[in-house]
Amino acid sequence: MAPRIFLLPLFFFFLLLPAIVSANVVDRTVAVVNQDTITLSEVNELGKSYFQKITEETPADRLNEALQQARKSVIDKLIDKKLLMQESQKYNLKVSEEEVENALQRVIANNKATPEQFRKEISSLGLTEKQYRENLREQILNSKLINFEVRSKVVIAEEKILDYYNTHFTQLTSSSDYHILQIGCLWNTKDRNGTTLTQAEAKAKAEKIRDLALKGKDFKELAKQYSDLPSADEGGDLGMFQQNEMAPYMLAVVQHLKTGDISQIVETENGFQFFKLQSNQQGTVAAKASYDSVKDEIREKLTQQALEIRYKDWLQAIRDKAYIKIL
C-alpha cells in the first residue's frame, strides 16, 4: 500500500481538505473579511470531509445542530485564512515556484514515496497535483508571515532553559532539610493579650509584623512578642522539615526561599502566617541527562510553547482590528 502523503508540518495551520463542489450549487457570500468575501463554495470545499463525517456519525435528531456548528467552525478557519493572506499581501510576501517544488520533493522524500505513489495518494484524497501545489504555496506563504511576525520576536532566555532542566531532568536522591521559623496571627480566636481580632485585623497585624521583619527586626523576638501560635515561646522555631513533611501552604512559599529570606503571608483556616528560612541543607541531585545533551531540545520545546501563545495573541489582535461580518 502506498504511504500516506501529508502536507508540510507548518506551525499552527489546518490542512486544506479535498473537495470538488458540484457545478449546480448556486454560490453566495457567507462572510465578509475586510475587503474580501468568503463564499459558500469555499466553505463546502474546506469542510466537505468534515461535514460528511458528521453526517455519518451524528444521530438524526442532532444532525442539523451539529452541521450548523461545523459550518461556523469552518467559516472561522476561513476568516483566519483570509486575514493571514491579507497580512501577507501587506508585507508583499511571495512564494516562488522553486520553493513550492522543493517543498513538494521534501514531502515525497519524507514519506519515502515515488512520484507515482504520491500522485495516486493525492488523487485518492480528491486532489490534483496542481491543487496540492497551491495548498503548499499557501502554507509556505503563511509560514513566512508567521516567521516574520511571530517567531522572530520569540527569544528563550538561558535561565528559562535551565529552570526547565532542573524541573524535568533532575531529581533529588535525598530530601532537603529546611529549618523554618514561623509567625502567625489568628482571627476569631483570643490572642496572647486576650483580644479577638477580625479576619481583616489579623491580616493587617501579620502585614505589620512582616514589615518589621523585612526591616531587620529580630524574627525570633518578633515571634515571641506578637505571634499567636504555640511556637511563639520558642521564637517561632519549628525545627527541621523535609518537603514531604510540610503543609501545602507552607511548602508553596518556603521551597523557593534562600537562607535568611522571609516568605509571603499565607492564609490558613483561621489566621495568617509567614515564615523565615533559617537554613537549608540541600539533598543530593541526580541528573537524568546532561544539560548540554538536552539544552537544544528544551529550547525548541519552550520556543514552540511561546510561539503558540504569541501566535494566538497576534492573530486575535488582527481579528480585533478587522471588519468581519458573518451573513
Phi, psi of 39, rounded to the nearest 5 degrees: -100, 165
Residue 327 lies in a domain: no
Number of alpha carbons in the 13 Å side-chain half-sphere of residue 143: 16
Q: Are residues 114 and 216 in the same domain?
A: no
pLDDT of 23 strictly over 60? no
- Does residue 46 belong to any structural domain of this protein? yes
Q: Are 29 and 327 in contact (CB under 8 A)?
A: yes
The reported pLDDT for the residue numbered 325 is 93
- The enclosing domain of 135 has a CATH number of 1.10.4030.10
Note down the domain range covering 278. Answer: 174-283
The answer on 46 and 116 residing in a single domain is: yes
Q: What is the pLDDT of residue 168?
A: 85
Domain shared by 180 and 83, yes or no: no
41, amino acid identity: S
145 and 185 assigned to the same domain: no
Q: Does 144 lie in the same domain as 51? A: yes
Same domain, 91 and 129: yes
Is there a domain that residue 324 lies in? no
The CATH number that applies at residue 239 is 3.10.50.40
pLDDT (tens digit per residue) in 42-80: 898 888 888 888 999 989 899 999 999 999 999 999 999
Check if the beta carbon of residue 233 is closer than 8 Å to that of residue 165: no
Q: Is residue 160 part of a domain?
A: no
Residue 21 has pLDDT above 70, yes or no: no
* Cβ atoms < 10 Å from Cβ of 210: 22
Q: Give the span between the Cα atoms of 51 and 48, in whole angstroms.
A: 5
- Residue 21 domain-assigned (yes or no): no
Assigned C-alpha cell, 222: 518578633
121: in domain:
yes
Assess whether 206 and 138 both reside in one domain.
no
User: Residues 52-62, buried b or exposed e (16+ Cβ, 10 A)?
Assistant: eebeeeeeeee
* Contact present, 276 and 220 (Cβ < 8 Å): no
Number of domain units in the chain: 2
314 in any annotated domain = no
pTM: 0.52
d(CA 148, CA 310) in angstroms, rounded, equals: 12
Based on the fold, state whether residues 132 and 181 are members of the same structural domain: no
Domain assignment present for 9: no
Beta bridge partners of 110: none
pLDDT tens per residue across span 93-127: 888 999 999 989 998 888 888 888 888 888 887 77
Are 72 and 43 a contacting pair, CB within 8 Å?
no
**Which CA distances in Å does 264 have to 57, 257, 267, 278?**
54, 10, 10, 15
Per-residue confidence band for 10, with pLDDT thresholds at 50, 70 and 90: very low
Shared domain check, 119 and 197: no
Residue 266 C-beta-side C-alpha neighbours within 13 Å? 17
Please compute the mean of the pLDDT values over residues 140-161 and round it to a whole number. Answer: 88
15 — pLDDT class (breaks 50, 70, 90): very low
Q: Are 205 and 226 in contact (CB under 8 A)?
A: yes
